[in-house]
Structure 1
Amino acid sequence: MKKYKYSLEPDIKSKKGWESIVAAGISLALLLAGAVISLVMKGNGGTFLGAMGLFSFLLSAYGFYLGIQSFSEKNVNHRYSTIGSMASGILAVLWLALFLTGIS
């Protein structure tokens, strides 16, 4: 007699994990837009680019927070949580490195 083992993966996606991915996507889009604007303006972006970069950094940090928080949700698939946390964390570190390079 064969023994079968069944494993059901939850179909429900983590809501906070999805929000974390959206935050990472917006932060990445702002990073690329800031780079293009800075290139077009030949490095003279001024306060506008600084504010956009700060907002994007805070958004990626919040996305990382949401992604970590989403791991506590029960009976959901944590794939989006993992992707959102990693993407937001990498972007937050990238923005922090960019800011620290600009300060020194």
Structure 2
Amino acid sequence: MQTGELYARIQQMREAATTLNQSATRIQDSIEAVDGELRALTADRFMSISAESFRAEYQRVTPRLKEAFELIGGFRDKLNQSADDIELAARSGGGTV
């Protein structure tokens, strides 16, 4: 693999990590926005069978959404670490990245 190709792949890894970070942030922002809306629509202000059903479903799904946020962040970190490791290996081997 040519040095330029290696650099391009490292850049792609870092760009993918940035995209993952942005996506994770959007997930977190969405969860916080919905949480805020739900706090405003408490049972004493908005009561119906549908509202209770929505609240129950949201409470059931929210932990999985938060887990997705954490998993995406972990994958982002692994991509960045892999890019760092490749750069270090290339430099240690006398190559220039």
TM-score (norm. length: structure 2): 0.54
Q: Which has the higher contact order (CA 8 A, sep 6+)?
A: 2
Q: Does 2:64 align with 1:58?
A: yes
Unaligned runs of 5+ in 2: 1-10, 85-97
| Bigger share in helix | 2
Shift of 1:67: 0.6
Checking the alignment, whether the CA contact within 8 Å between 1:34 and 1:52 is kept in structure 2 is: no
Shift of 1:55: 2.8
Residue from 13, 17, 24 that aligns with 1:20? 24
CA RMSD of aligned residues (A): 2.8
Residue from 34, 38, 45 that aligns with 1:34? 38
Distance in 2 of aligned mates of 1:62 and 1:31: 16
Checking the alignment, whether the CA contact within 8 Å between 1:16 and 1:67 is kept in structure 2 is: yes
Distance in 2 of aligned mates of 1:46 and 1:15: 36
Distance in 1 of aligned mates of 2:52 and 2:32: 20
SS of aligned partner of 2:76: helix
Q: How many residues align?
A: 66
SS of aligned partner of 1:40: coil
Residue from 78, 87, 90 that aligns with 1:72? 78
Unaligned runs of 5+ in 1: 1-9, 77-104
Q: Which of structures 1 and 2 has the bigger CA Rg? A: 2
TM-score (norm. length: structure 1): 0.51
